[in-house]
Structure 1
Amino acid sequence: MHKTKHIGLLLAALLLSLPAHAGGQREEALSANVRASLQRGLADTPITRTAFTHAADENAWLKEMSRRLAKRMPDEAERLEFLTTLHWEASRAGVDPQLLLGLIQVESGFRKYAVSPVGARGYTQVMPFWVKAIGNPDHNLFQLRTNLRYGALILRHYIDIERGDLYRALGRFNGSLGRPEYPNLVVGAWKRHWDYVPSTRSAERSTASRS
């Protein structure tokens, strides 16, 4: 039994040490205004809920996304914490949470401690230079909220730079601007695995709230 457990721990360590397949944002000069805006985004108070207005919508989304994520993240408590944090951080940055799930699938395969060959870290594969550029030395890119917050803010930053062109923004995120392979992978993962259509009741509530 102890031998089996030891083998299991070795396999887990091996999986965690495998390099990620993506994640190589290129360091670029930031204007003072952009730097200050990103720093404010990082400094916001952490919120331990999704960005949904109605509890029923939150529960429906978490249930469905948890079901889809179960094979990749078997522990239910870990899964729900991940999804709750992701939905809040993506939404507050102005990024579709399902898109961020697709990006994470491609970037790290949902491995919290993934490290790419060029040193990008965590779920969203953030390059360490971002901590020096807009964060502080205490920021741990393997910590759940820190990684998701950085990843969502960086993606939003690139979308803004590219004036809403998602494919070019994704290319910047991956350090492969101008090549279609990575954006196609992320959008494909998003649409195939994480696209979410709310229930009729949720859609009715959303319509009513806008009228």
Structure 2
Amino acid sequence: MRRAGVVLACLLVWGTAWPAARAPATLNPAMRATLARAVAASPGFDNRFAAEVWLVDMSRRLAHFVPDVTRRLALLRDVHAAASEAGVSPEVVLAVIEVESHFKRFALSSAGARGLMQVMPFWRDEIGTADDNLFARATNLRYGCAILAVYLAREHGRLAPALARYNGSTGRTIYSDRVLAALRRHWRID
């Protein structure tokens, strides 16, 4: 699967040199333009090629959850930026979002957790400001990634216990097992 993503990214980079009959159907001009905008606005990548490879690969994986390509690439760009800023794996963040909100930006839990990463409102007092909108994608991702980074540091990089802390289920494994299963199933890059 990863090889297909790399091949697709290579086609995006060098696709204009290929005859139209050989170009994949998914690389229409609108898709190219959307991807080009996402790459241009994607901090946290070492170079354009790395951005294209990751965005194309993850976009394909995320298509099941977020069908609109423009929205999908914007989400991926923001996930990568927030994760990179916090020093956490963007693939782990995608797994957390899958389990927490199933990629629903306006998700609201019965406990009051909000947004993609299901951030509790009390975090505004701890790391933000009272008027921060936890349903705003960039804000939610910034909070969620920062919280996850703190818990990873507290757990000396051990992902399962950090995930349990993130979920408020320290000492139990059901939540971390779900996130790790989502990571293996959909987001892992080996």
The TM-score normalised by the length of structure 2 is: 0.76
Is 1:174–1:182's contact at 8 Å kept on the other side of the alignment? yes
SS in 1 for 2:57: helix
The one of 169, 177, 189 equivalent to 1:184 is 177
Q: Deviations over 1:20-41 (max 9, x none)?
A: xxxxxxxxxxxxxxxxxxxxxx
In structure 2, the partner of 1:196 is 189
- Residue pair 1:48, 1:85 contacting (<8 A) in 2 also: no
Q: Secondary structure at the match of 1:178?
A: coil
Aligned position for 2:124: 131
Higher deviation after alignment, 175-184 or 132-141: 132-141
Q: Is the 8 A contact 1:121 1:127 kept in 2?
A: yes
Q: Does 1:53 align with 2:25?
A: no
Return the alpha-carbon distance in structure 2 between the equivalents of residues 196 and 181 of structure 1: 23
> In the superposition, relative to structure 1, how do residues 137 and 48 fare at CA in structure 2: closer, same or farther (>3 Å)?
farther
3-state DSSP of counterpart to 1:149:
helix
**What is the aligned-residue identity percentage?**
47
- Cα separation, 2, equivalents of 1:55 and 1:149: 23
What does residue range 27-106 of structure 1 map to in structure 2 within 5 Å?
A: 48-106=41-99
Q: Which residue of 2 aligns with 1:114?
A: 107
Deviation at 1:155, TM superposition (A): 0.3
Residue in structure 1 matched with residue 21 of structure 2 by the alignment: none
Q: CA deviation at 1:188?
A: 1.1
Aligned equivalents of 1:118 and 1:111: distance in 2?
Answer: 16
Give the aligned CA root-mean-square deviation in angstroms: 1.3
Q: Distance in 2 between matches of 1:134 and 1:61?
A: 29
Q: What SS is found at the alignment partner of 1:116?
A: coil
Gaps of 5+ in 2: 1-39
TM-score, with structure 1 as normaliser: 0.69
How far did residue 111 of structure 1 move?
0.5
2:26 matched to which residue of 1?
none
What is the CA–CA distance in structure 2 between the aligned matches of 1:138 and 1:66, rounded to whole Å? 32
Write the letter of the residue equivalent to 1:138: D
Question: Cα distance, 1:102 vs. partner?
Answer: 0.5
Runs of 4+ in structure 1 over 4 Å off: none
Ranked by relative contact order (alpha carbons within 8 Å, sequence separation 6 or more), the top structure is: 1
Amino acid at match of 1:125: Q
CA distance in 2, matches of 1:180, 1:190: 15
